[in-house]
């Protein structure tokens, strides 16, 4: 027999957008049901297998000394990471469990009609109907579909984090953010890492000087980058995996497939709920995050936008504004969204590159200096990490900052200041003449922006 439940808002998936929306609406008195199918994903991808745990491992890798035993050090790092994840998972449980209007349901959801889902868990089933539905089921690592990509030494970004020892040789198929973060991390854990890139270079969207800075830093860490190499198959003879490419073969003890992510929608039967998807399976939404079904929205990675936790958080604001009647928020309102690739040091960026600005016909002034040569930026020297470059692109007529690439210690923090300046209309001169704490990485702005050309 199937139990039935009626609610104001049904949220599918415990990601950043869904859980924040559930909590805020529940605290305002709306009846909310949140459905999550996986106990290991309470709180969402970010805190369980992605942003937080991987950056915890990045930090641990950076602290490893050359004489530390690689396998024992990795085991301790993973144990530390797991303790952090469990604390965050419990905090997320409490955030929602303490809101009386929010009901948490564990199980697999499948649409059975308009704003109606059937949730199954074991022998039990629950049919939930709602006035409003929010889909936030996120994404999962995508397999490229090449022969041998399911072999015993082949991993995705989740399973690689659970290795029992450091692979002597790690091959990484892909050259995006995930690939470069794991390459930098595992090189410091002790692996000989090869990144296999299909194109002529990594980071093709970046200016040459920024890309070259990242390449040089990875090379100094021992990472080899194989370019113009299409992966054809992965052979495993029981002792070693060989990634066969259109260039050189790469022999490895472990292979990471960092080839993107796919929407976690296969089990939802979205068609039964009248929800359209695109050719990749992502839920189609408009600028208000509305799907093709009435009063059904999609937030976070599942809607095919930027796969960033802060974007998912902002998605929740857009939907909440509609449900509360406040309105006024849209996806196309977003300006100067910063991003960071957590290599060591991190590469953070916001806005236009120099190349993009010039291609648009904008007259620009550019400030760019290698970190090691920025006298007013002593923090990298103090912490012993002087790789990188700081680059800002400025409108020559208005003095407004158009973009920045920050490959340096603390880049993930400094970029937020630059992004705020761009959104608030502060000028490059304002940043140049700012009084910043000392010693800090922010001080680079004083020197680099004083030498615009």
Q: 249-267 in b/e burial notation, b at 16+ Cβ within 10 A? A: ebebbbbbbbbebbbbbee
Task: Note the pLDDT of residue 1.
Answer: 63
Report which of 376, 373, 378, 375 is spatially closest to residue 389, judged by C-alpha positions. 373
What residues are labeled active site? 438
β-strands 347-351, 401-407 pairing: antiparallel
Q: What is the mean pLDDT of each run of 10 residues along the chain (453 residues)?
A: 92 97 97 96 95 98 97 98 96 95 97 98 92 98 95 97 97 98 98 98 97 98 98 96 98 98 97 97 98 98 97 97 91 96 98 98 98 97 98 98 98 98 98 98 98 97
- Rounded distance, CA 404 to CA 369, Å? 12
- Rounded distance, CA 147 to CA 144, Å? 9
Task: Note the pLDDT of residue 123.
Answer: 82
Report which of 6, 325, 334, 292 is spatially closest to residue 135, judged by C-alpha positions. 292
Annotated binding-site ranges:
55, 174-181, 260, 301
Q: How many residues does the structure list for the chain?
A: 453
* Token couple for 136: 């936030």
Annotated binding-site ranges for FAD:
55, 301
Domains of the chain, earliest start first: 3-141+262-333 (3.50.50.60), 154-259 (3.50.50.60), 339-451 (3.30.390.30)
Task: Note the pLDDT of residue 326.
Answer: 86
Annotated binding-site ranges for NAD(+):
174-181, 260
CA 306 to chain centre: 9
Task: Note the pLDDT of residue 328.
Answer: 86
């Amino acid at each position: 027999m199937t139990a039935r439940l009626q609610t104001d808002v049904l949220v599918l998936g415990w990601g950043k957008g869904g859980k924040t929306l559930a909590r805020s609406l529940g605290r305002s008195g709306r009846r909310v049901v949140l459905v999550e199918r996986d106990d290991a994903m309470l709180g969402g991808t970010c805190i369980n297998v992605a942003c937080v745990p991987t950056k915890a491992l990045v930090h641990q890798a950076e602290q490893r000394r050359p004489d530390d035993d690689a396998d024992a050090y990795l085991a301790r790092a993973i144990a530390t990471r797991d303790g952090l994840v469990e604390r965050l998972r419990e905090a997320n449980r409490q955030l929602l469990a303490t809101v009386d209007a929010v009901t948490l349901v564990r199980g697999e959801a499948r649409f059975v009609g308009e704003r109606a889902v059937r949730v199954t868990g074991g022998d039990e089933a629950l049919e939930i109907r709602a006035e409003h539905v929010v889909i936030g089921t996120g994404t999962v690592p995508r397999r490229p579909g090449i022969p041998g990509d399911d072999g015993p030494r082949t991993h995705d970004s989740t399973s690689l984090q659970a290795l029992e020892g450091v692979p002597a040789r790690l091959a990484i198929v892909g050259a995006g953010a995930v690939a470069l973060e794991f390459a930098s991390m595992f090189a410091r854990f002790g692996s000989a890492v090869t990144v296999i890139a299909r194109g002529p270079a990594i980071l093709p969207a970046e200016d040459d000087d920024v890309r070259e800075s990242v390449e040089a830093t990875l090379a100094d860490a021992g990472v080899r980058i194989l370019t113009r190499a299409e992966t054809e198959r992965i052979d495993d003879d029981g002792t070693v995996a060989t990634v066969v490419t259109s260039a050189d073969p790469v022999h490895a003890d472990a292979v990471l497939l960092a080839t993107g992510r796919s929407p976690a929608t296969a089990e939802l039967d979205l068609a039964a709920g009248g929800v359209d998807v695109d050719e990749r399976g992502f839920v189609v939404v408009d600028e208000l995050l509305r799907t093709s079904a009435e009063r059904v929205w999609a937030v976070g990675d599942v809607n095919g936008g930027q796969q960033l936790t802060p974007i998912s958080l902002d998605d929740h604001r857009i939907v909440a504004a509609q449900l509360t009647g406040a309105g006024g928020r849209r996806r196309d309102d977003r300006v100067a969204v910063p991003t960071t690739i957590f290599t060591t040091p991190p590469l953070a960026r916001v806005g236009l590159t120099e190349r993009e600005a010039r291609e648009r016909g904008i007259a620009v002034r550019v400030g760019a200096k290698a970190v090691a040569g920025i006298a007013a930026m002593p923090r990298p020297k103090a912490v012993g990490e002087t790789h990188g470059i700081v680059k800002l692109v400025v409108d020559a007529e208005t003095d407004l900052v158009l973009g920045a690439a920050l490959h340096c210690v603390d880049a993930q923090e400094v970029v937020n200041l630059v992004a705020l300046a761009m959104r608030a209309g502060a000028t490059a001169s304002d940043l140049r003449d700012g009084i910043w704490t000392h010693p800090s990485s922010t001080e680079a702005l004083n020197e680099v922006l004083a030498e615009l050309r």
